[in-house]
Amino acid sequence: MNFDEGFKLAWQTVKANKLRSFLTALGIIIGVMAVIGMMSIITALDVYMKKALSEISGNVFWVQKNPAVQMGRLDKKYRNRRDITFDEFERLETVATRYVEKVSPEVWNWGIPIKYQDESTTPNVGILGGDENWAIVNSRFVDEGRFITENDLHHSRQVVVLGKDIQEKLFPFTYPIGEFVKIGNKRFQVIGILEEKGEVFGESQDNRVVIPYTTFVKMYGHFRSVSIGIRAKNEKVIIQAMDEVEAKLRSIRKVAPGDETDFELITQDSIMDTLKNLTGFVFIAAVIICGISLLVGGIGIMNIMLVAVTERTREIGIRKAVGAKKFHILQQFLIEAVGICLFGGAIGVILGVLIGLLIAVALKLAPTIPVWSIFLGLGFSVAVGLVFGVYPAMKAAKLDPIEALRYE
């Protein structure tokens, strides 16, 4: 018997017992589907984050109370930290000058609608308090009008720079610069429109407005921690700038020598490393799910092949009586086991690709299907067929032809 004949027999077995073959291969299907689907999502996230972070200048980093990426309940050591204040920002801006070019505060309030005459946005707009350096540090510039100035900050002026989403909602047919909008019950004059940035993980970066942080404090108080964006003089001195900022801010916050720093320094690389760790956990989870599914699938394959040996004992006896050798019987049953696993693997590949594409579309990511994961899934399918098909195949090959012919 050659391999072609073996695969034909395997396919006939699958066709003759469609439901049984499908249920047998279900573990293989789930395992392969999980691997390809999860690898597609992880790859798409990795590509997307690299692209998003590449837009940030390489000489920029941030100081925050808590880590940039958080999963689940915040750790106690972060919850117990003191807030970073505007006073600390202002003192840092004064003393950190050797390697630092710009320092800018950032503080947020959410869930407030912006109104213009009879028009109103949904109550999910982000209100950002910043200064004249915020646009430079965060690589956000104005398309029209101007940005916040020192005079705006000094006099706590009620001026606002709108994101594109806000402009399109409130001013579809009106030139917005110079017009007045309401934030809460306060009137703000529109002085500029931010350039369009698009979405990150389905969240619009243009559904926000920027006001002077001094005005922000008057409206909402000091009861929140400030994030500080810092631009080093160039990329070559970013490490020295981070060391300078850490030392100066520890001194400002009176952190004792030897005590742990009570704030976070966040860079592009640290964000990417954190995300890689998170996707690493997802990968491990996918491997565990895949392993369990393949184990269950392998046990199913062994069970069904043992049943097949019992059902075809007389056929095996006839084949041995007319000259078939142990190797031929062994080969036939192994090919059938591998064929059923490949059948399950092929379905798993199709479902995994579809799931990867659907989730990428739902998260608004560019669909990315790693080719290697497809070959890996099919390779696992073949391996499971070989490993779990060996025992039934050997049992069939060892049957005594006389006893097999007498089997009823």
Q: For each of the chain's 408 residues, which pLDDT tens digit applies? A: 556 666 676 667 667 777 777 777 788 888 888 888 888 877 777 777 776 666 565 688 899 988 776 665 667 777 788 899 999 999 999 998 889 999 999 999 988 899 998 889 988 899 999 999 999 898 888 999 999 999 999 999 999 999 999 999 999 888 999 999 999 889 999 999 999 887 766 677 889 999 999 999 999 888 889 999 999 988 888 889 999 999 999 999 998 888 888 888 888 777 677 777 777 777 787 778 778 877 888 888 888 888 777 777 777 777 777 777 777 778 778 888 888 888 888 888 899 888 888 877 776 777 777 888 888 888 888 888 888 888 888 888 777 766 666 655
Do 279 and 253 share a domain, yes or no? no
Say what the pTM is.
Answer: 0.68
Report residue 267: phi and psi, to 5°. -125, 175
pLDDT in the model for residue 234: 86
**Distance in angstroms (rounded) separating the CA atoms of residues 64 and 227:** 5
Do 112 and 34 share a domain, yes or no? no
Is residue 63 in some structural domain? no
- The last residue of a domain, from among 238, 262, 286: 262
Do 375 and 230 share a domain, yes or no? no
Q: What stretches of 230-312 show up as alpha helix (H) in DSSP? A: 238-252, 268-311
| 227: containing domain | 82-262
pLDDT in the model for residue 287: 77
DSSP-assigned states of every residue in 19-62: HHHHHHHHHHHHHHHHHHHHHHHHHHHHHHHHHHHHTS-TTEEE
pLDDT in the model for residue 132: 93
Do 236 and 281 share a domain, yes or no? no
Is residue 176 in some structural domain? yes
Tokens of 238: 């970013």
**Distance in angstroms (rounded) separating the CA atoms of residues 399 and 238:** 74
Give me the torsion for CA of 181, 187, 191, 197, rounded to 10°: -50
pLDDT in the model for residue 55: 59
pLDDT in the model for residue 326: 78
DSSP H/E element including 164: helix 164-170
The pairing of beta strand 227-232 with beta strand 60-64: antiparallel
The pairing of beta strand 186-194 with beta strand 264-266: unpaired
Tokens of 335: 């090919």
Do 95 and 185 share a domain, yes or no? yes
Do 168 and 213 share a domain, yes or no? yes
Do 43 and 152 share a domain, yes or no? no
Is residue 346 in some structural domain? yes
Do 86 and 231 share a domain, yes or no? yes
Classify residue 198 as exposed, middle or buried by CB count within 10 Å of its CB (0-12, 13-18, 19+): exposed
- The last residue of a domain, from among 193, 227, 262: 262
Is residue 70 in some structural domain? no
- The last residue of a domain, from among 209, 235, 262: 262
β-bridge mates for residue 145, sequence order? 192
Instruction: Note whether 6 and 338 are within 8 A (CB).
Output: no
Do 38 and 101 share a domain, yes or no? no
Is residue 156 in some structural domain? yes
Do 293 and 246 share a domain, yes or no? no
Number of domains in the chain: 2
pLDDT in the model for residue 10: 62
Instruction: Note whether 332 and 372 are within 8 A (CB).
Output: no
Instruction: Note whether 51 and 188 are within 8 A (CB).
Output: no
Is residue 61 in some structural domain? no
pLDDT in the model for residue 54: 60
**Distance in angstroms (rounded) separating the CA atoms of residues 98 and 240:** 9
Is residue 373 in some structural domain? yes
Instruction: Identify residue 234 by its one-letter amino acid code.
Output: N
pLDDT in the model for residue 6: 60
pLDDT in the model for residue 224: 85
**Distance in angstroms (rounded) separating the CA atoms of residues 107 and 109:** 7
Do 220 and 335 share a domain, yes or no? no
Is residue 57 in some structural domain? no
**Distance in angstroms (rounded) separating the CA atoms of residues 256 and 392:** 70
pLDDT in the model for residue 57: 59
Do 245 and 303 share a domain, yes or no? no
